[in-house]
Structure 1
């Protein structure tokens, strides 16, 4: 069974995304079932994918599909043979609970699905959400953000850093790739967007470097300005700053943490 390489990556990362989205064919499912307990890289990918997709699902406006489409989809589901899933002898905790133990969520799987690379999995998920009511030709800003976040999940270069306050409580999760990034404000309070701003700092060089900024108004993920230089950092912090510009040094550090995968 393949495990993490010397560069910290794993050849099974795409399958880990498919596992979290319940979109693997039986052969790949069996392969990853045996692989996950011994691979912290893939465990982190499962946690990250579960966390972001759960947040997206909760923030998408719920709309009823046309009656004819609904009946067509339900009819297709009813005609599709299903097989009982084999209970797993171990568990991987969801990212929503941030369990640090090696657990795996028991997911029922469909009987036969095509082999999916990470990008294809994202496409299938987008189509499924469209069936539930998304109008792709009329995306709102929030829905465009969600689409970009899903694309980020399919990027094998994405890494994840959990940022915690001094008391150990989770404040935010930073998702970072060479060209894009997002902050999931799991424990940050809304700021006054008129005269306050949250700033993301890079801490890998010894001296804090202001990388980007964002506002918090809801628990939804926030896309932030990013580049390859910012993505090279492995340690990060978040501060709450007066004014609306990036300062030269942090004033009030809220949380910090480092890349875990």
Structure 2
């Protein structure tokens, strides 16, 4: 499981809405990548805050009936998964590696949507919560940084006339890279972020840019004062060695 897949499943984990296979894969990934725990904490906080702030309202009859019909259909198609209890981080579901099937498709997102509806009594506020949880984590982090009293940023101009900016806040503890005009990559390449500290490059996550070169990416790990935030072009999925395999196309000093 890569970081993007982990981030996509974090909301479902916070709501105990993942299938047993997805939850087992998620827990394994969390154990292997402690630096990704902020996705879980952020989504859990969002669920708690929105659950407390949204008033219960009677659900539309048609919506309730449609949801119940779909849930019943999923249970019939996958009785073992439907009956499986949700587990906690302390006692994850144990699934033999040979039988694990990692699915990132509609079923996981339907489970999330169903749990969101149940969370507030199948009320109209489900739409609000779903919209909040489906927002990219990098965008949410950027808003937190910009709202912080110690928010800072540093920018550089790209060779083709675009711009790249790093946003960070020590109190928030997050760093977000925003760009426009990044070059288009081939299918077998990815952009990778790095903290460059004392001549050492520390991997901070892989990201993709849109067709026009725009990107908003949350860096994994912790920035230290004076770090340079760099971007390199790597093989798809990131550098196989854990070190940059090419010269940076972007390097932004933060001091």
Shared topology, TM-score over 0.5?
no
When normalised by structure 2's length, the TM-score is: 0.40
Scaled by the length of structure 1, the TM-score of the pair is: 0.39
